[in-house]
Structure 1
Amino acid sequence: MALSEARLGELAARLAEVPGVAAVLLGGSRARGTHAPDSDTDLGVYYHRPLDVAALGELARTFGGPAARVTPVGEWGPWVDGGGWLTVDGAAVDWIYRDVDRVARAWADAEQGRYAFHAQAGHPLGVPDFAYAGEVALGVVLADPAGELAALRARMRVYPPALREALVAGLWEADFLVGVARKAVPRGDATYLAGCLFRLAGVCAHALHGAAGRWLINEKGAIAAAAALPGAPPRFRQRMEAVFTAVDSDPVHLTAALDAAADLVLETADACAMMAR
C-alpha cells in the first residue's frame, strides 16, 4: 500500500519545520511515476548543519510509531549519511539525509566536469558525487520554504556539457580493466575478474548516460537503463549479462568473457561518439 498524497504532503510539511531541514524532495520510483503499490516512498531530507536529530526523531515516532528511529548525521556513511526506515500508515517510507552545502559543491564540480566515485556501504560501484545533482533534477520538491532547493533544481535541469565529456572520456578505465583482468585468467581468479567486470559495466553505463545527457544515479538497473538509451550498443543488456554468466574458474571461459567485454567497451565508445554528434 502506497502512502496517500495527502499524508505525503503533511509529512513533508512537518519535516520542513524541523530545525536544520531546508527542503524535502520526493525521489525514487514514485517521483518518476513508475512505482507499484508496494514500492517504498523515498524522501530526501535536505539539511544545513546543525540538524536537530532529536526533533527529527520525535517526528518519526509521531508518524511511524514508538519504535521509529532516525540516525545521527554520518551513521550510515560519508555519502548516504543517515536517515530512517519508517512505516507510515502501513507503507514503507525512507528518509535519506542530504547536506545541501555538499549537494551544491557536487553540482559545482559537475559543471566543471569533475567527478569521482566514493566508497559507501550498499554501493559496490561507489556513489558518484554527481548523483546528488541528478537526484534533485529528477525528484519532486515537496517542501522548500526558502526556495533554496528549487533554485538549485532550476540549474540542474540542464545536464552539464563538461560532465558529459568527462564521463565519456572515463571509458579509458573500462579498457584498462580488461587489460588488468586478463592477468587473472591463468590463475583462474574468477572473483577478481568479476570485480573488474562489474566496474567495467558501471563505467560503460555512466559513459552512455553522459553521452545522452541523462542522469544515472544508482547502480540498480543501470545496465537496463543504459540499454534503453537511443543509440546504445545493440542488445547491450543481454550481452553484458552474458559476460557475467561466463565467469567461472575455467581460463577458456574467462578469456571469452573478457573478449566479449572488450567488444562492448569498443562499441560503447563508438555509440558515445555517435550520440555526441
Structure 2
Amino acid sequence: MIDMVEAMAARLVRVRGVCAVALGGSRARGAHRPDSDWDLGIYYRGRLDVAGLTALAAEVAGSRVEVAGPGGWGPWVNGGAWLSVDGVAVDWILRDLDRVESVWADCREGRYEVGVQAGHPLGFWSPAYAGEVALCRVLADPSGELTALRARTATYPEPLRRALTEAAWEADFSVAAAAKSVGSGDALHVSLCLSRAFGVLAQSLHAHHGMWLVNEKGALTAASSLPSAPADFAPRVAAALRALDADAVAAAAELVRETRARLVQAEG
C-alpha cells in the first residue's frame, strides 16, 4: 500500500498549486492499526487547481469523488477529500503552506489560536499545523520547502512551551463553570465544560514536555503516560465524564488542581 500512496503523492505534486505531500496521522508515527486510514497532507500555495485534484481523485478511486476546495471544510481543516482505493481509506487534507509558515512564526513567539473547526470538538489549536509537519513523513517535495520546515519544527519552541503550559489556568475556569450548572442537571453544559478542562490539561501536559499534540484523538491516553500527569489521569477523566454529577465535578476540580500543581513544581 505504501507504494501506491507514494505514487499518488508523486502525481499530486504535479497538480497546479500543490507544493508538497506528506503522510500524517498514525501511519506516519508508526502507531497505526491494520485498518487505520492513510492521511495525506496536501500542502499548496496560491490558487489551487481543485478541478485537477477532482479528476485525479476520480481516476485513482475508480469513481467520482467530491473534493472540497480551500474553505470547503472550514477555516482550519480547510478542504480535502475522502477516497476509497481498493477498499482502503485514503484521506486528502489540504494545508495552505503560507498559513502553516505563518503559524510556525507565531509558535516561535509563543502565540497561538484556538478556532472553531468541524471535526475538532475542543477546537483547532493552531500549533497543530507545526506539529503535523514535525511528525509527518514527507512523500513528495520538489522544492524542498516542507522538508526544510520539518527540520525546523523538530525543536519545540520554548516560548510556545511556556505559553501552553501556563494555559492550564483555563481548566480551572471551565470546571468552575461546570459547578454552576451541575445542580440544575444541565448535562450538556457540564460535559462540555469538563471536556474542555481535560482537553486543556492534555495540551498543557504535552507542551510542558515539548511534545506536539495535533488533535483530540488519543490525547487522553498520550497525556496520561507523560511523567507530569497525576496518577490514574485517564481513568479519573473517564470516570468524571461518565458521571457528570456534583461528585464528578469535585473530582475534576481535584484533578485539575493536582495537574497544575505538578506542572508548577516541574517548571520550578
* TM-score, structure 2 as length reference: 0.97
- Contact 1:206 1:216 survives alignment (8 Å): yes
> CA–CA distance in 2 between the matches of 1:93 and 1:178?
38
Structure 2 match to 1:271: 262
Match of 1:260 among 246, 251, 257: 251
Per-residue CA deviation, residues 152-183 of structure 1 (Å, 9 max, x unaligned), is 11110001111111111111111111222221
RMSD: 1.2
Counterpart in the other structure of 1:138 = 135
Counterpart of 2:120 in 1: which secondary structure? coil
Q: What residue is the counterpart of 2:57 in the other structure?
A: 60
SS in 2 for 1:119: strand
Match of 1:192 among 189, 194, 197: 189
Tell me how far apart the structure 2 counterparts of residues 197 and 87 of structure 1 sit (CA, whole Å). 36
Correspondence 1:124-273 to 2 at 5 A = 124-247=121-244, 254-273=245-264
Which structure 2 residues correspond to residues 103-122 of structure 1 after superposition, within 5 A? 103-122=100-119
Structure 1: gaps of 5 or more residues: 248-253
Q: CA deviation at 1:191?
A: 1.6
CA contact (8 A) 1:159 1:213 kept: yes
Q: Percent identity?
A: 54
Q: Say if 2:80 and 2:91, in contact at 8 Å, map to a contact too.
A: yes
Distance 1:28 1:177 in 2: 29
In 2, the alpha carbon distance for the partners of 1:275 and 1:13 equals 45
Matches within 5 A, 1:58-97: 58-97=55-94
- Output the amino acid matched with 1:272: L
Deviation at 1:101, TM superposition (A): 0.6
User: What amino acid maps onto 2:44 in structure 1?
Assistant: Y
Q: Does 1:51 align with 2:48?
A: yes
Contact 2:57 2:64 (C-alpha < 8 Å) held by counterparts: no
- Cα deviation for residue 236 of structure 1 reads 0.3
Alignment of 1:35-50 (within 5 A): 35-50=32-47
CA distance in 1, matches of 2:205, 2:109: 19
Query: How many residues were matched structurally?
Result: 268
CA distance in 1, matches of 2:64, 2:33: 26
Q: What residue number does 1:22 align with?
A: 19
Q: Following the alignment from structure 2 to structure 1, what is the Cα–Cα distance between the partners of residues 182 and 118?
A: 29
Q: What is the DSSP-based 3-state SS (H/G/I as helix, E as strand, rest coil) of the residue aligned with 2:138?
A: strand
SS in 2 for 1:124: strand
One-letter identity of the residue aligned with 1:233: P
User: Residue by residue, what CA displacement relative to the aligned partner does 1:232-252 show, whole Å, maximum 9, x if unpaired?
Assistant: 1100000111111221xxxxx
Alignment deviations for residues 172-197 of structure 1 (CA, whole Å, 9 cap, x no partner): 11111122222113322222111100
Determine the C-alpha separation between the residues in 1 that align with 2:255 and 2:113: 23
Q: Secondary structure at the match of 1:183?
A: helix
Contact kept? 2:228, 2:259, Cα under 8 Å: no
Query: Is the contact between residue 183 and residue 246 of structure 2 (CA under 8 Å) also seen in structure 1?
Result: no
How far residue 222 of structure 1 moved from its aligned partner, in angstroms, is 1.0
Per-residue deviation, 1:274: 4.2
Match for residue 96 of structure 2?
99
> Partner of 1:7 in structure 2?
4
Shift of 1:127: 0.5
Distance apart, 1:70 and its partner CA:
1.2
